[in-house]
Structure 1
Amino acid sequence: MVMKTSGFIEGSFPDELERVLRSVGSELGDVVDDMEALQVVPLKGAMTNEVFRIIWPTKCGNLNRNILVRIYGEGVDAFFNRDNEIKTFECMSKHGQGPRLLGRFADGRIEEFIHARTLSAADLRDHEISALVAAKMREFHDLEMPGPRTILLWNRMREWLVQAKSMCSAKDVKEFCLDSLENEINMLEKELSHDHLDIGFCHNDLQYGNIMLDEETRSITLIDYEYASFNPVAYDIANHFCEMVANYHSETPHILDYIKYPGVQPVIFSCP
């Protein structure tokens, strides 16, 4: 099913979504039982999904509840297992990480609305914010999550390579050197697999759009766990560093500016 978001924004909800919304409303207890009273606000910043803020009036007059509706992007299930992502989402909620899962429907889900702002590309290079993100990453990596602590990185890359080759023409396969990538993956796995690697639960997609900051409490929340899994912690940190050179909301989102890659800076101590 393809969600017609224009009608959705106007308040015309698909039947399944309306049923789930009514169920969520019943759980909330204090919201009005009138779907036409809901305000739908599209949110920017999501890369693979469409995300909407639902402003739901309560029975207490001028008070409102806020929830978030996430519509899954088409074709993204080729890159991860949606059922596993939902299980991760639920486990994260139990650990007090991220928003709570309020409801599910075929093409999306309803989540708790977090009153925080999504970071921008420039925010990743702010020293204070970067330190907050680092502390949250450490907390994330130390989470006790179910499942074997096996590295997913290498097999996932191989699976994505198979997907890419199946979707590309022979010309594209040659232009992007896809036939040689498997050997490179094998070489990297051999060179970078060591017994002393710190394995933790990694986000694996720490670009700025998946990091939220509460301006009042200065607390960080990591969202969107589609790619989360056990991996070397060093990989998650390296991936985050690579995201510092990207700006997905520019005119050239595919071009990475490696001048912005973080470097080693000396720490200057002042004498008392």
Structure 2
Amino acid sequence: MAIKAIGFIEGCLPEDLEKVLVSVASEWGDVVDDMNALQVIPLKGAMTNEVYQLNWPTRNGDHLRKVLVRIYGEGVDVFFNRDDEIRTFECMSKHGQGPRLLGRFPDGRVEEFIHARTLSSADLRDPEISAIIAAKLREFHNLDMPGARNIVLWDRVRNWLSVAKTLCSIKDKKEFGLDTLAEEISLLEKELSGDYQDIGFCHNDLQYGNIMMDEETRSITIIDYEYSSYNPVAYDLANHFCEMVANYHSEKPHFLDYRKYPGLEERQRFVRIYLSSAGYKPTDAEVEQFVDKVEQYTLANHLFWGLWGIISGYVNKIEFDYIEYARQRFQQYWLRKPALLGS
């Protein structure tokens, strides 16, 4: 079987996936009776799951049918509730915001293949594309999603800290200062939660690989909602800005080049478009205030993904230097904290 040959879906039953694929194909009037005839294309850049494009010829053979198969990463259930993520995925589909869920099997799922290109790291810095992302993100935040509109960020970071402390070696625990990190989290929560905050349904992982663009219509689709939850929208913008320093398709995908962090004018432009996209015209003072709040939330984002990196280094088998990634996020936290919060 072609799928087995490349080692994909290790740890789950191949026949479960076969049944889903046969069912999906039959609904489309196709016949997939030879699994060896499937074309399997690994898609790079995913760091939580393994993702593949599967192709097969239609019944009359005039073109290829395409689906996306997502294999859940090992140990990642510590980061999010998979059932909640599936509910979010299905709700997004109903809102017309993402791909349709075509089928599920124990260790993964089959999704509609979106005929659009995944953005590159450089695309995030393109003013035209960035403006489209800003407007789309505001639309995303305004979606009416199930669940209480409660901030998830702080409880999640505290939970991840607890998990990291149980997994870590003594050396890593000391290097990352995990025994004192609870105080930092409490300090951040106190400093950042004082003012009125706009709470929306946030993606929380808006890196370029989770954004797709239809080249003809120039429309944006935001995908992959594993980490999505209600949070301050300023945090989601902070996350997006932080992702501009990464290139997960480079020779060193874990390396973060903070020389590429967007400058003040670029951040102001993004924020102004974000606030204006709903028909409201913000004042310069409002833009400046929101930019400052977003910048403070980058500190929470460094701790969030720093802890994610530590845990992933112990539980995830995907080829990525998670610990070095975490080290860079924590270094940036301590470097930027004095300027953003004062001593």
- TM-aligned CA deviation for residue 7 of structure 1: 5.6
- Whether the aligned pair in 1 keeps the contact of 2:52 and 2:69 (CA below 8 Å) is yes
CA distance in 2, matches of 1:200, 1:15: 40
- TM-aligned CA deviation for residue 61 of structure 1: 3.0
Match of 1:49 in 2: 49
CA distance in 1, matches of 2:255, 2:32: 48
- Whether the aligned pair in 2 keeps the contact of 1:45 and 1:118 (CA below 8 Å) is no
Task: Give the alignment's Cα RMSD to 1 decimal.
Answer: 1.9
- Equivalent position SS for 1:99: coil
CA distance in 2, matches of 1:185, 1:7: 40
- Whether the aligned pair in 2 keeps the contact of 1:116 and 1:215 (CA below 8 Å) is yes
- TM-aligned CA deviation for residue 58 of structure 1: 1.6
Output aligned runs, 1:150-161, within 5 Å: 150-161=150-161
1:165 maps to 2:165: yes
Q: Which runs of 5+ in 1 are unaligned?
A: 268-272
Bigger fraction of residues in strand: 1
Match of 1:99 in 2: 99
CA distance in 1, matches of 2:242, 2:18: 40
* One-letter identity of the residue aligned with 2:146: P
* One-letter identity of the residue aligned with 1:201: F
The Cα offsets for residues 35-79 of structure 1, whole Å up to 9 and x where unpaired, read as 333322222222222211121222223122211111111121111
Output aligned runs, 1:95-134, within 5 Å: 95-134=95-134
* One-letter identity of the residue aligned with 2:211: I
Q: Which runs of 5+ in 2 are unaligned?
A: 270-343
- TM-aligned CA deviation for residue 256 of structure 1: 2.2
Match of 2:34 in 1: 35
- Whether the aligned pair in 2 keeps the contact of 1:42 and 1:51 (CA below 8 Å) is yes
1:65 maps to 2:65: yes
CA distance in 1, matches of 2:84, 2:163: 19
- CA separation of 1:241 and 1:7: change in aligned 2, threshold 3 A: closer
* One-letter identity of the residue aligned with 1:61: G
Output aligned runs, 1:168-207, within 5 Å: 168-194=168-194, 196-207=196-207
CA distance in 1, matches of 2:61, 2:83: 39
- TM-aligned CA deviation for residue 152 of structure 1: 0.1
TM-score normalised according to structure 2 size:
0.72
Match of 1:270 in 2: none
CA distance in 2, matches of 1:81, 1:90: 14
The Cα offsets for residues 129-173 of structure 1, whole Å up to 9 and x where unpaired, read as 111111110110000001000000000000110111111112211
Identity %: 72
- Whether the aligned pair in 2 keeps the contact of 1:71 and 1:108 (CA below 8 Å) is yes
Q: Structure 1: which 4+ aligned runs deviate by more than 4 Å?
A: none
- Equivalent position SS for 2:264: coil
- TM-aligned CA deviation for residue 251 of structure 1: 3.5
- Whether the aligned pair in 1 keeps the contact of 2:53 and 2:69 (CA below 8 Å) is yes
- TM-aligned CA deviation for residue 253 of structure 1: 3.2
- Equivalent position SS for 1:130: helix
- TM-aligned CA deviation for residue 252 of structure 1: 3.4
